[in-house]
Amino acid sequence: MEELEFSKINPVLLEGLDGDTDGWKLYRHPLNMRGSIQIVFSEEHNRAGIIYIGDGTNNRDDWTDASSPEQALERYLNDEMVN
């Protein structure tokens, strides 16, 4: 997982933040040859937003409680999101 500049954030994730990026970090996790996952995470809020980017993208973000971006990714991949 790599940290990204906020200028690379998916617009759907940015909309989910209501434009308030203070205290949030953006990450990218390669998923397969055709896509990746972007994660925005706030340690202060213990919250993360996730979106799949690539073939078949549906432009739907998912949000979960999480103590780290890695935990958010695990919950997303295992379909265990906690709202």
For the chain, the domain total comes to: 1
pLDDT band at 81 (very low <50, low <70, confident <90, very high): confident
pLDDT band at 82 (very low <50, low <70, confident <90, very high): low
Whether 41 is in a domain gets the answer yes
Radius of gyration over alpha carbons of the chain, in Å?
Answer: 12
Whether 26 is in a domain gets the answer yes
Whether 83 is in a domain gets the answer no
Whether 30 is in a domain gets the answer yes
Rounded CA separation 74/38 (Å): 13
Residue range(s) defining the domain that contains residue 58: 2-77
Whether 54 is in a domain gets the answer yes
Whether 82 is in a domain gets the answer no
Whether 14 is in a domain gets the answer yes
Instruction: Go through 27-45 and write b for each residue having 16 or more CB atoms within 10 A of its CB, e for each that does not.
Output: bebeeeeeeebbbbbbeee
Whether 23 is in a domain gets the answer yes
pTM value?
Answer: 0.86
Handedness of CA 18, 41, 29, 57 (dihedral sign): negative
Rounded CA separation 50/76 (Å): 8
Q: State pLDDT tens for residues 22-57.
A: 999 999 999 877 788 999 999 999 999 999 888 766
